Amino acid sequence: MGLADLTDKEWFARLNDRRLKQAENAAAWWPYYENSQPLHYVARILREQEDAFPPLLIDWAELVTDALEERLDVEWFRLGDDEAASDDLERVWQANDLDEESGQAHLAALVTGESYVMVGPGDDVPLVTVETAEEVAVEIDPRTRQVVAALKIWRDDWVRPTEEHAVLYLPGRMVEFEKGQPFHSESLGWYESAVIEQRSSLVPIFPMFNRRRRGRANGERGRSDLVALKPIVDGANQTATNMMAAIEHHAVGRKWALNVDPGDFEDENGKKIPAWKAAMGAVWALPPFRQTRPGEQVPQPSVGQFNASDLRNFHDSLKQLAQISASLYGLPPHFMGFTSENPASADAIRAAESRLIKRAERRQRTFGGTWEQAMRAAWAMLGNDPKTAVALETVWRDPATPTKASMIDAAVKAVGGPLIDVEQGREDAGYTRGQQQRMAERDAQRRQRVTSDVRSIDMQGVPSAASILGSDGGAAAPGRTAGTANGSAAAAG
């Protein structure tokens, strides 16, 4: 039986099973990002030390993920030269707070391998929301690579915590499900509550897959960015916790005492002195020698201290693990805490960030496709022809994060030549669309004022037509005074 022959309930069961597997996968990766992963290997160390200190965990998973996610910022959407279309899409973006929500979609895709963007009708503009793999599952047609079915499940925690709701999206219709006991039924579980017909055959949920690979098992799904880092983080945490155990017992030299009696550690009132167990470890002590025959010499008590242990073996191990992590994820040395007395030059820093910048550009290309699909759906819900949005483009902030001064300097130099115009220079300088529009408006106002000022220049001192032409309409001849019929009056004067 093909997918086209599945009933609504069979579609629900298929996608819900996939959703549960996705939730299980996400539950294995989020703890590493949040630095709360299970510590089976460290628990034994802590148990042997009687829980004298907490585990030392190094959150490199958050570091390598945030270093990439921080460079994934959507600026706006461009639809050819249609400024009105770009304004409409920006209005949809801002109305749904996607400046903040988009970061959650990128982060979830990097950590768990997948996240989703859902588009639906709203009050004023289409509603665009970010969804996680724990609540959404989709079916993708391997030929067209388009979503042909999707399931969204959620729970109203603030109304009725025990009730769950679901919507199955299929081409041309939506099927609502509720979890509970349907009317005239004694069984508890999911049941179909309503079917809503749709004019559009589009399934408005769009997956955002990270490092998607085809031609392999589960290749249509995403892959977590933490796969290569997981064993390194486990090793670093174990090394760091072992170092804490060494600090507890060997970082401060352990004391020893020979030929001492417990009574030697009592004050004048007979109370035991806490020094019998030092703060940094127990004192190694041997009881006094007992005289077995008369005249036998008894050794005198003596105390001392062993040399403290050198912890550089732990430090070197952690540095080596940090170098491996940095090389795998293209992180500059200073990201992992490697510094030198001579700070790196600006060119050296840019060269060290080249791999990280390229990784960000790859994610921009992949994640940008999801945003473009979602905004095309929003464009259609605004009443526009979806075919006109085929050339929609996601405009990202430069992942190289150049300084404002360098961006403006490069833009000014490019505008000064024949390469780009002022409008493109403002975009290259990093100004937002709103700032560019205000600049263009001010330019138009200045041009209008200049034109008006030129027209209203005081014409005093400029010869008038009457002074140039005679009273009879002819030109005044030399020696003839303007305004007289002939030159007799002037001659008489």
Report pLDDT digits (tens) over 367-376: 999 999 999 9
CA dist., res. 113 & res. 359, Å (int): 15
Which DSSP category does 431 fall into? -
The amino acid at residue 439 is M
Average pLDDT over residues 259-280: 58
Res 320: pLDDT: 93
Residue 326 has pLDDT above 50, yes or no: yes
Res 68: pLDDT: 94
Res 319: pLDDT: 92
Instruction: Report how far Cα 83 is from the mean position of its chain's Cα atoms.
Output: 28
Residue 22 backbone dihedrals phi, psi, to 5 degrees: -65, -40
- More confident of the two residues 180 and 384: 384
Residues 6+ apart with CB under 8 A from 36: none
Average pLDDT over residues 407-416: 77
Report pLDDT digits (tens) over 435-489: 888 888 888 888 888 777 666 665 555 565 555 555 554 444 444 444 444 444 3
Report pLDDT digits (tens) over 10-32: 999 999 999 999 999 999 999 99
Report pLDDT digits (tens) over 63-79: 999 999 999 999 989 88
Burial class (CB in 10 A: 0-12, 13-18, 19+), 270: exposed
Res 236: pLDDT: 92
Instruction: Report how far Cα 134 is from the mean position of its chain's Cα atoms.
Output: 19
CA dist., res. 491 & res. 172, Å (int): 102
Residue 350 has pLDDT above 90, yes or no: no
Q: Which one, of 287, 281, 250, 280, lies nearest residue 265 by Cα?
A: 287
CA dist., res. 227 & res. 243, Å (int): 26
Res 156: pLDDT: 72
Res 158: pLDDT: 56
% of the chain surpassing 90 pLDDT: 36
Q: 343 vs 333, 334, 339, 376, 429, CA distance in Å? A: 12, 10, 7, 47, 28
Residue 284 has pLDDT above 70, yes or no: no
H-type alpha helices, 209-260? 230-249
Q: Of the given ranges (23-27, 199-203, 214-218, 236-240), which has the lowest mean pLDDT?
A: 214-218
Contact 278, 255 (CB under 8 A): yes
Residue 135 has pLDDT above 60, yes or no: yes
The amino acid at residue 69 is E
Work out the pLDDT band at 336, boundaries 50, 70, 90. Answer: confident
Res 363: pLDDT: 95
Residue 271 has pLDDT above 50, yes or no: yes
Beta-bridge partners for 164: 155, 179
Q: 242 vs 47, 53, 72, 230, 314, CA distance in Å? A: 12, 11, 37, 19, 8
- Is pTM beyond 0.85? Reply is no
Work out the pLDDT band at 493, boundaries 50, 70, 90. Answer: very low
Work out the pLDDT band at 220, boundaries 50, 70, 90. Answer: low
CA dist., res. 279 & res. 52, Å (int): 11
Work out the pLDDT band at 413, boundaries 50, 70, 90. Answer: confident
Burial class (CB in 10 A: 0-12, 13-18, 19+), 7: exposed
Contact 14, 179 (CB under 8 A): no
Residues 6+ apart with CB under 8 A from 96: 122, 125, 127, 128, 129
| 450: three-class secondary structure by DSSP | helix
Q: Nearest 5 degrees, angle CA 474-CA 477-CA 480?
A: 110
DSSP string, 99-118: HHHHHHHHHHHHHHSEEEEE
**Tokens of residue 135, six digits:** 């609540």
Res 278: pLDDT: 40
Average pLDDT, the chain: 80
Q: Please, how many CA atoms are within 13 Å of residue 469, restricted to the half-sphere of its CB?
A: 7
Q: Nearest 5 degrees, angle CA 301-CA 306-CA 310?
A: 170
Contact 172, 201 (CB under 8 A): yes
CA dist., res. 120 & res. 116, Å (int): 13
DSSP string, 344-367: PPHHHHHHHTHHHHHHHHHHHHHH
Q: Of the given ranges (5-9, 87-91, 199-203, 434-438), which has the lowest mean pLDDT?
A: 434-438
Please name the residue that has the structure tokens 């404002």: 404
Please name the residue that has the structure tokens 């081409």: 171
Residue 191 has pLDDT above 80, yes or no: yes
Res 295: pLDDT: 65
Contact 150, 34 (CB under 8 A): no
- The C-alpha torsion from 484 through 485 and 488 to 490, rounded to 10°, is 10
Q: Which one, of 141, 138, 142, 140, lies nearest residue 150 by Cα?
A: 138
Res 228: pLDDT: 94
**Tokens of residue 158, six digits:** 């603030």
The most confident of the ranges 155-164, 279-288, 479-488 is 155-164
H-type alpha helices, 429-470? 433-455, 465-468
Report pLDDT digits (tens) over 31-45: 999 998 888 777 777
Helices 230-249 and 40-48 meet at what angle, rounded to 10? Answer: 10
Average pLDDT over residues 90-109: 94
Res 117: pLDDT: 96
% of the chain surpassing 70 pLDDT: 74
